[in-house]
C-alpha cells in the first residue's frame, strides 16, 4: 500500500496539493485541491467508502484539510531554511508499506523529493532522516529533533498501514489477482533498426520476456525496456533484438518468449520477417519523397497566393499547452511523494493550404485582357 503526494507553491496553474493511494500498483483513490473532489478509482474502494463512512470522512479530511496545511508548512519551512523565498517550488512525498503474506512482516518506507530530485529518506531503524542531497543536511538536523513526529510516522508505517493493507486486500484481492493475457507483436522502424518484441495488455506486471536463439536465452544484442502502464490498468513491455549481424537464413533460429506470472504456458513468437509490422518499405519511401516534395510545392504556392491576396494566407493554430502532473499520496502518513510533471507543446497547422480558386481567378483575368 503506497501513497504519493505533491504540494506546490508559486504557480497558480499547478494544484496546491494532490495525491493518490496505490494498492498493489493500482490507483485506488485520487484527489487534488483544484477540483475539491475525492475520487475512488476502483469499485472495491467505492464499497469500502460505502460500508465505512468514517473511513471516507478520514480521507476527505486528510485530503482537503490536514495534508494541504501540513504541506504548506513544510514547503514554507524548507524554502526558508534554503533561503528560497521566490519562485516555484515542489515538495513531493512517497511512502507506505509492503506486507509479506508468508512471514506477516511489514516493511515501511518514506521519502521526500524537492523540486524534482530526491531530498530526504527516513531510516526506520534509527528514526533519523538521510539527506539525499547536500543541501538537505540542514533540513535533516531540523527534522531529526522532532521525535514525536518521527514516532508517529513509525506507527503509521508499521501498524496503521498494515491494518489498511490487509483490509484493502480483503476487498480488492479478486480484482488484483486476475490474469489478463496480452497481445504480442514484432515491430521494426526501418530495415536497419532492431526488431522489437512488443507485448501489451497484460496483468499483473509480474512478467519475464527475453529473446532466445536455438532455445537458449541470449543477452548480446538485446535491449530490455522497462514495464510501462497502459491507461486501462494493464501493462506493456518491449525487448529489442539487434538483427544487423543476423544472416537471413538464421532468423528462424530466434524467438521471443513472454512469461506471465501464474500462467503455465509461455507465449513464443518466432522471428519472422513476414510477421513484422512496419511502415517502412520501398513503396513508402517513394510515397514519403512525393509527400515531402508536394509539401514544399504547396508551401511555395501558398506563400505566392498570400502575397497576391493576404486574406488567403494559411492560418496556424497553436495547440494549448497540456500539463500532465502525476501526483500521489497516502493521507495520514507523513511519508514520501513523487511528482512527475510533463509538458507537451504542439503546433498544428490548420486550414486548407491549397487554393484552386486563385488559379481560376487569374485565368479569368487573363481572358478578359
pLDDT tens digit sequence for 87-103 = 899 999 999 999 887 88
Q: Are 240 and 188 in contact (CB under 8 A)?
A: no
Question: What local confidence, expressed as pLDDT, does residue 99 receive?
Answer: 85
Nearest to 94 by CA among 340, 339, 341, 335: 335
Helices (H) and strands (E) in the chain, counts: 8, 22
The string of pLDDT tens digits covering residues 113-170 is 999 999 999 999 999 999 999 999 999 999 999 999 999 999 999 899 999 999 999 9
Delimit the domains of the chain by residue range. 2-176, 189-277
> For residue 284, what pLDDT band results from cuts at 50, 70 and 90?
low
Q: pLDDT: is 101 or 253 the higher one?
A: 253
- Stronger pLDDT, 253 or 367, i.e. the higher one: 253
- The overall average pLDDT reported for the chain is 80
At residue 281 the predicted structure's pLDDT band, cuts being 50, 70 and 90, is low
Q: 251 with 271: CB under 8 angstroms?
A: yes
Enter the C-alpha cell of residue 34: 483544484
Which of 163, 18, 177, 178 is closest to 97 using CA atoms? 163
User: Within 13 Å, how many C-alpha atoms sit on residue 224's CB side?
Assistant: 13
Residues 6+ apart with CB under 8 A from 172: 23, 24, 26, 28, 42, 44, 45
pTM: 0.62
Same fold, 2-176 and 189-277: no
CA distance linking residue 12 with residue 217, whole number of Å: 52
Q: Which three cell numbers stand for residue 108?
A: 515501511
CATH class of the domain whose range is 2-176: alpha beta
Q: At the top level of CATH, which class does the domain 189-277 belong to? A: mainly beta
Residue 37 has pLDDT above 80, yes or no: yes
pLDDT of 315 above 70: no
Amino acid at each position: 500500500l503506497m501513497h504519493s503526494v505533491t504540494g506546490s507553491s508559486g504557480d497558480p496553474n499547478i494544484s496546491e496539493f494532490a495525491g493518490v493511494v496505490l494498492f498493489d500498483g493500482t490507483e485506488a483513490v485520487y484527489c487534488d485541491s483544484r477540483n475539491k473532489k475525492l475520487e475512488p478509482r476502483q469499485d472495491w474502494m467505492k464499497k469500502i467508502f460505502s460500508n465505512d463512512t468514517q473511513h471516507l470522512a478520514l480521507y476527505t479530511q486528510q485530503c482537503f484539510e490536514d495534508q494541504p496545511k501540513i504541506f504548506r508548512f513544510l514547503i514554507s519551512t524548507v524554502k526558508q531554511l534554503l533561503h528560497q523565498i521566490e519562485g516555484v517550488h515542489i515538495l513531493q512525498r512517497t511512502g507506505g508499506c509492503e506486507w509479506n503474506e508468508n512471514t506477516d512482516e511489514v516493511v515501511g518506507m518514506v521519502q521526500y523529493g524537492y523540486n524534482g530530485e530526491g531530498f530526504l529518506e527516513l531510516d526506520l531503524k534509527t528514526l533519523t532522516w538521510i539527506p539525499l542531497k547536500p543541501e538537505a543536511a540542514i533540513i535533516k538536523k531540523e527534522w531529526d529533533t522532532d521525535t514525536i513526529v518521527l514516532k508517529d510516522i513509525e506507527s503509521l508505517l508499521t501498524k496503521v498501514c498494515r491494518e489498511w493493507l490487509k483490509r484493502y486486500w480483503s476487498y480488492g484481492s479478486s480484482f488484483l489477482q486476475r490474469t489478463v493475457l496480452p497481445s504480442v507483436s514484432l515491430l521494426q522502424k526501418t530495415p536497419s533498426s532492431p526488431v522489437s518484441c512488443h507485448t501489451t495488455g497484460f496483468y499483473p506486471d509480474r512478467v519475464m520476456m527475453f529473446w532466445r536463439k536455438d532455445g537458449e536465452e541470449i543477452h548480446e544484442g538485446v535491449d530490455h525496456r522497462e514495464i510501462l502502464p497502459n491507461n486501462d490498468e494493464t501493462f506493456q513491455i518491449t525487448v529489442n533484438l539487434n538483427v544487423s549481424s543476423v544472416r537471413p537464413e538464421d532468423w528462424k533460429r530466434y524467438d521471443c518468449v513472454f512469461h506471465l506470472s501464474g500462467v503455465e504456458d509461455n507465449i513464443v513468437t518466432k522471428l519472422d520477417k513476414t510477421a513484422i509490422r512496419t511502415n517502412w518499405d520501398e513503396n513508402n519511401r517513394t510515397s514519403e519523397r512525393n509527400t515531402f516534395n508536394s509539401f514544399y510545392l504547396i508551401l511555395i504556392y501558398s506563400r505566392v497566393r498570400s502575397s497576391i491576396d493576404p486574406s488567403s494566407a494559411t492560418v496556424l493554430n497553436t495547440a494549448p499547452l497540456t500539463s500532465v502532473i502525476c501526483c500521489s499520496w497516502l493521507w495520514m502518513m507523513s511519508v514520501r511523494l513523487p511528482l512527475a510533471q510533463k509538458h507537451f507543446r504542439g503546433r498544428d497547422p490548420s486550414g486548407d493550404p491549397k487554393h484552386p480558386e486563385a488559379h481560376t481567378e487569374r485565368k479569368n483575368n487573363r481572358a478578359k485582357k
